[in-house]
Amino acid sequence: MFRLSTVAAFALGAVSANKPCTTPLNPALETICFTTVQTSGQFSIRDYAPHGLNVSLVTATAPESPSWAEGSLLSTEALLLYFEGSNGAATPVARTVPLIYRPQAAPSGETIINAAMALPTSVFPVPASAPKPDPENKLEAFPAQRFAAVTFTTPTPATDLDYAHACGEVEQWLSSKGLKPATKGAFAQAWVTYSGAVATEHVQECWLSVSA
């Protein structure tokens, strides 16, 4: 079960070309730079700056819950190995937020989801300058893009059904404004709030690409 939230997941203000963007909870942790075009309650439209992604090639299949849970875990583990130093330079790479799950349609009709995380642009302004990934990962350039987003929270990590519901809310909001999403949603786990050693709230988002 999730609840929509008015939490400003990345309250950044104007994007600076010379200064990396960070999260309000941890100024040492980079995130993808964006400017907010408009907001309405828990919904917003944002213009994201171009950046590089490391993408895990291990995939999860949705909406079958066991496959989603196992596949997303393996995909995330393969992704994080790159940042921990399993790469061509054998050196750790600073992690960023959010952790992004991206759905893609497979020829079989299934939805395939892989995990992705932005490279720290303060260190690697273009993906080609980053350490070469192992065979389970790839680097790709992500162009500037406009997304409609909704922020929501869950007491436990969100399921594919939580994300599907949230993405449906974004699509309805866009429809009320006479807009349509250009692509299927990207799911973003923004951060986890801890009380002692127990996670109390997971802040997550669904992004839908829209035309500028």
Q: Do 114 and 59 touch, CB atoms closer than 8 A?
A: yes
Give how many domains the chain has, as a whole number: 2
Question: Would you state the structure tokens that stand for residue 100, as one six-digit string?
Answer: 């992004």
For residue 62, the enclosing domain spans: 51-142
Q: Does 209 map to a domain?
A: no
Assess whether 130 and 81 both reside in one domain.
yes
Q: Which of 26, 160, 140 is nearest to 82 (CA)?
A: 140
Q: What percent of the chain has pLDDT over 90?
A: 37
Q: State which of 113, 142, 171 marks the end of a domain.
A: 142
pTM: 0.81
pLDDT digit string (tens) for 68-93? Answer: 566 677 888 899 999 999 999 999 99
Q: How many CA atoms lie within 13 A of 107 on its CB side?
A: 0
pLDDT of residue 131: 95
> Is residue 148 within a helix (H) or strand (E), and if so which, with residue range?
strand 145-154
Assess whether 44 and 148 both reside in one domain.
yes
Contacts of 199 (CB under 8 A, 6+ apart): 156, 192, 193
How many angstroms separate the CA atoms of 61 and 104, rounded? 10
How many angstroms separate the CA atoms of 182 and 174, rounded? 11
Q: Does 208 map to a domain?
A: no
Contacts of 175 (CB under 8 A, 6+ apart): none
pLDDT digit string (tens) for 20-49? Answer: 898 776 777 898 999 999 999 989 999 999
CATH code assigned at 110: 3.20.80.10
Q: Does 11 map to a domain?
A: yes
Q: State which of 93, 127, 142 marks the end of a domain.
A: 142
